[in-house]
Structure 1
Amino acid sequence: MVDILQRVGVVAPRETVRAALTTIDGLAGWWTEDTVGDAAPGGEIRFTFEPGSIAVRVLETAPDVVRWEVVDGPAEWVGTHIVFELAQEGEYTIVRFRHEGWAEPVEFMAHCTTKWATFLMSLKRLAETGVGEPAPADVRVSDWH
């Protein structure tokens, strides 16, 4: 198994970042505008992008960690876990991100690594300025979007 790992420092209170990860409005503000569902533990959230969608089951929304299991979407994603760990370091809320459990490091994983980086920068912008760049306004990184 292999994982995607990212680390981003956000100059915003941890609660602001946590709200962007644990509410439908927050998620729609940085990942994709087409976000619906129940963001509470046990709930399911569906994120729709061009050309498809991803559904996650919310496993945990503790003060310092948000954890999801992918239950629908690209075959490479189903069964993987998406984890956001939050820590305060000075003026920064540090977001330690993992998309864990990929079966192998395929080309699609390389694409997703880059896309996660762009979306985490969108999360940073949302928390710091109030305006993110969720899909469909996100950065296109290739012909896969």
Structure 2
Amino acid sequence: MADILHRVGITAPREEVFRALTTREGLADWWTRDTRGDGAPGGVLEFRFVPGGFDMKVLEAQPAERVLWEVIDAPAEWVDTRISWDLRTEGDYTIIMFAHRGWREPVEFMHHCTTKWATYLMSLKSLLETGKGAPAPDDVMISDWH
């Protein structure tokens, strides 16, 4: 198994970071504008991109602490992986410990997704610190895979 791991600090309260990770509006402002669903535990979030999408079952949404999704519909490499966001305060920062765990092997698509997660985490940081994120379709294109 292989994992994608990132750490980012954002100068915003944990409650604001949590809202951006659990509400349709928050997610649409930094990840993809085409976001549907319910970010509460037991809900399903649907994210659409060109050329496809991802559906996540929300396993946990502990206010200002942790968010955990299980990928239930997506490209084969993502299905049954888990995405977690652990939040803590460190000085003026909310620290996000991000993980996308359970990849069967580090295929080329995982390399691509590692870079894309980093760009989207920077979009989240920008949204919360400046009020403007860069969600798809306005995100950074890194290859013909988008």
Q: Report the TM range for the smaller structure's normalisation.
A: over 0.9
User: TM-score, with normalisation over the residues of structure 1?
Assistant: 0.99
Secondary structure of 1:125's counterpart equals helix
Aligned length: 145
Q: CA RMSD in A?
A: 0.5
* CA displacement 1:26-64 (0-9 Å, x = unmatched): 000100000001111000010000000100000000031
Matches within 5 A, 1:106-117: 106-117=107-118
Distance 1:126 1:62 in 2: 21
User: Is 1:118 aligned to residue 119 of structure 2?
Assistant: yes
Distance 2:15 2:40 in 1: 16
Letter matched to residue 128 of structure 2: A
Letter matched to residue 85 of structure 2: F
Letter matched to residue 57 of structure 1: K
Letter matched to residue 59 of structure 2: L
User: TM-score, with normalisation over the residues of structure 2?
Assistant: 0.98
Tell me what 1:128 maps to: 129
Question: Gaps spanning 5+ residues in structure 1: where?
Answer: none
Distance 1:135 1:61 in 2: 24
Tell me what 1:47 maps to: 47
Matches within 5 A, 1:53-132: 53-63=53-63, 64-132=65-133
Q: Give the share of equivalent positions with the same residue, in percent.
A: 64
Q: Which runs of 4+ in 1 moved over 6 A?
A: none
Distance 2:37 2:62 in 1: 19
Tell me what 2:18 maps to: 18
Question: Gaps spanning 5+ residues in structure 2: where?
Answer: none
Distance 1:132 1:85 in 2: 20
Distance 1:127 1:11 in 2: 8
Cα deviation for residue 92 of structure 1 reads 0.4
* CA displacement 1:60-109 (0-9 Å, x = unmatched): 00031100000001100000000000010000000110000000001000
